[in-house]
Amino acid sequence: MGVLLKNRTTFIDFILKEWLVIVSGVGFVVTAFFTKRLPVYSINEMQVLFILFVLFVAVNGLQKSGFILQIAQSIEKGKAIPLKLVLTTFFLSMLVTNDIALIVIVPLTLSLNINRKDILVILEALAANSGSAFTPIGNPQNLFIYWFYHIPPGTFIKTIAPFSLVFLGLLIVASLFVKVRNDLPKRQAKKINQKSYIYGALLVIVLLTVFHVLPVSSGVVVILFALIFDRNALRIDYALLFTFLFFFGIADNLKVMLASEITRSGHIFLLSALSSQVMSNVPATLLFAKFTLNWQALLWGANAGGFGSLFGSLANLIAYKIYIMNEDTTNTATFTAKFLIMGYIAFFVSIGLYLLLY
């Protein structure tokens, strides 16, 4: 009886922790059934999965080496911790994309010896989505729109600047209201492993592949190093990678299902924002670009669509999964509710801002 109860509890815990990959897997099967086809994965999507994999390994290696914990302990000693984390995420996402900014900042936040980590992670997700919107290279949908419509850099930034700057102001105010305690019992200082310097260099290599300075295949060095010298670094969240794989497949199937129904581009902002809630803003951008010349509405809609649901952007999934998979996390349901509430507040604020300006 005790064994059955234990197995049942373990199964329930698994469902609560991995419901995203389960839901995305079911969605993959259902959309494939309706379209009577298996999705077609592009080379770009497979490269995204590969880059995410080596990023996870590099950051995991840094975390296990004590490097991230050392930075966290230095941040704990200062004041205005929420503000520093939010601003760092916002401006970092402009340069290294929202996904990478969260892959680096969220584990750092979870290493801090403070409370209110759930609120901080949510604010960081909002900061990553709004900060990355500001530049053509901040996120994949921006880069696509920038190249597809041949937009001058100055025009691009001027168009989306109100979106990013308004949310920067709101996030600064919100972070000032978050009061954290860093007077919790002190942890024993951990010496930095020499591998941290190697993982730091490997992380730089991965970032250079993102900026197309190095070929994507350069990321293989991360895998080789982990396989030969540190296999513990390979213990990453593979369920999240499968979620992305299913997610890309769902998006491709939805494009087939929706393409024949879209004949007008007049409401492209709302269409792209709302569809992002289901298929993510990057596939939504690729889909609606075929049907409109109104790149301003598409740009706003795709970035507004990054807020709201967990599926709004891959950055949301990354922040969410890193948090709930943390060994100290015990409030998955509460965190999910907070994430969605704060996300949809931002979503409706962005819609109101667009309607006010346009």
pLDDT at 336 over 70: yes
- 10 Å CB burial of residue 244 (0-12, 13-18, 19+) is buried
Tell me which residue range forms the domain holding 286: 2-38+67-190+237-357
Q: What is the DSSP letter of 214?
A: S
Q: Is residue 45 part of a domain?
A: no
Count other Cβ atoms within 10 Å, centred on residue 13: 11
| Beta-carbon-side half-sphere exposure of residue 231 (alpha carbons within 13 Å) | 2
pLDDT the model gives residue 112: 81
pLDDT the model gives residue 173: 95
Q: What amino acid is encoded at 61 in this protein?
A: G
Q: What amino acid is encoded at 143 in this protein?
A: L
Q: Highest-confidence range of 3-7, 104-108, 172-176, 238-242, by mean pLDDT? A: 172-176
In this predicted model, what pLDDT tens digit does every residue of 76-101 receive, in sequence order?
Answer: 666 788 998 999 899 988 876 788 88
Q: What amino acid is encoded at 194 in this protein?
A: Q
In angstroms, the CA 273 to CA 285 distance is 9
Mean pLDDT of 125-148: 88
Nearest Cα residue to 39 out of 256, 357, 235: 256
The count of structural domains within the chain is: 1
pLDDT at 8 over 60: no
pLDDT at 5 over 50: no
Least confident interval from 15-24, 305-314, 328-337: 15-24
Angle between helices 281-288 and 295-304 (to 10 degrees): 160
Nearest Cα residue to 25 out of 321, 312, 247, 279: 247
| Residue % of the chain over a pLDDT of 90 | 29
CA 221 to chain centre: 24
In angstroms, the CA 135 to CA 285 distance is 16
In angstroms, the CA 224 to CA 198 distance is 12
Q: Is residue 222 part of a domain?
A: no
Structure tokens at 85: 């984390």
Q: Is residue 209 part of a domain?
A: no
Q: Is residue 92 part of a domain?
A: yes
In angstroms, the CA 16 to CA 160 distance is 37
Rg of the chain in Å (alpha carbons): 20
Q: Is residue 260 part of a domain?
A: yes
pLDDT the model gives residue 191: 67
- 156 vs 236, more confident: 156
